[in-house]
Amino acid sequence: MSFRNSRDHLTDILDGIRLIETFIAGLDLAVYRDDIKTKSAVERQLQIITEAAYRLGDDASAICPGPDWKGLRAMGNILRHGYHKVDDQVVWDTLKDDLPLLKESAEASLLMLKMEDR
């Protein structure tokens, strides 16, 4: 079930990624682990990103191929419902390994959607 359109959800994803990039700029995992404000801010943006991924629905792979949509949604469930199980190493790996691909794919998909609207 989509609450808004795909462009809005992709924009939410990109906005969240850009904020996370600013939050963690110049940090390593050890500093991240010790910075509760940054961890809280990053986890909040990840919640938004994963909710937008959920709201893209089953068409996410067709709209924006490449990212692990199932994995993103699963991370969102942990952030929301299993918050006591959040592993800083897993979050950090996601930030470093998965978000760049998600950003690249979302930017390309958003551009395509905008071109289709012309």
Q: Is residue 118 part of a domain?
A: no
Q: Is residue 24 part of a domain?
A: yes
pLDDT for the residue numbered 117? 77
Residue 95 backbone dihedrals phi, psi, to 5 degrees: -60, -45
66 DSSP 8-state letter: S
- Which residues are within 8 A (CB) of 99 and not within 5 positions of it... i.e. 6 or more apart? 17, 20, 21
State the pTM of this model: 0.92
The domain total for the chain is 1
pLDDT for the residue numbered 115? 87
Q: Is residue 116 part of a domain?
A: no
pLDDT digits (tens, 9 = 90+) for 102-113: 999 999 999 999
**What's the Cα-to-Cα distance from 90 to each of 36, 86, 99, rounded to whole Å?**
16, 8, 12
- Which residues are within 8 A (CB) of 78 and not within 5 positions of it... i.e. 6 or more apart? 85, 86
Lowest mean pLDDT among 47-51, 90-94, 112-116: 112-116
Q: Is residue 12 part of a domain?
A: yes
